[in-house]
Amino acid sequence: MLFHVRMDVSLPASMPEPEARALKAREKAQAQALQASGQWRHLWRIAGQYANVSLFDVDSVEQLHQLLSELPLFPWMTLQVTPLCRHPSSIHADDR
């Protein structure tokens, strides 16, 4: 199942910078591992914001929820999740 996910991150201003750097480093490592696995298919930064849009390819809504909730930055994220399905006008035989 494909999902379009927008992630907006809002770390508290009171978070010490070393803690924020460590958190971001863990997030980057986990995001890259999920991309390497094929579950996090695409990741784009939204210019000028601490936000991204991503495409996930997972087996179920439950798997997506588990994956997202395990991200280090999850407690500071606002998420918008949109399930996607194949468009009948797509020229690609396999949109994976």
Is the residue at 36 inside a domain? yes
Taking 50 as the pLDDT cut, the residues of the chain under it are none
pLDDT computed for residue 88 by the predictor: 87
- Residue 71 near residue 54, CB atoms below 8 Å: no
Is the residue at 96 inside a domain? no
pLDDT computed for residue 42 by the predictor: 96
Tokens at 25, concatenated: 């480093």
Is the residue at 13 inside a domain? yes
pLDDT computed for residue 96 by the predictor: 59
This prediction's pTM? 0.90
CATH code of residue 72: 3.30.70.1060
Residues 6+ apart with CB under 8 A from 51: 6, 7, 8, 9, 45
Q: How many domains does the chain divide into?
A: 1
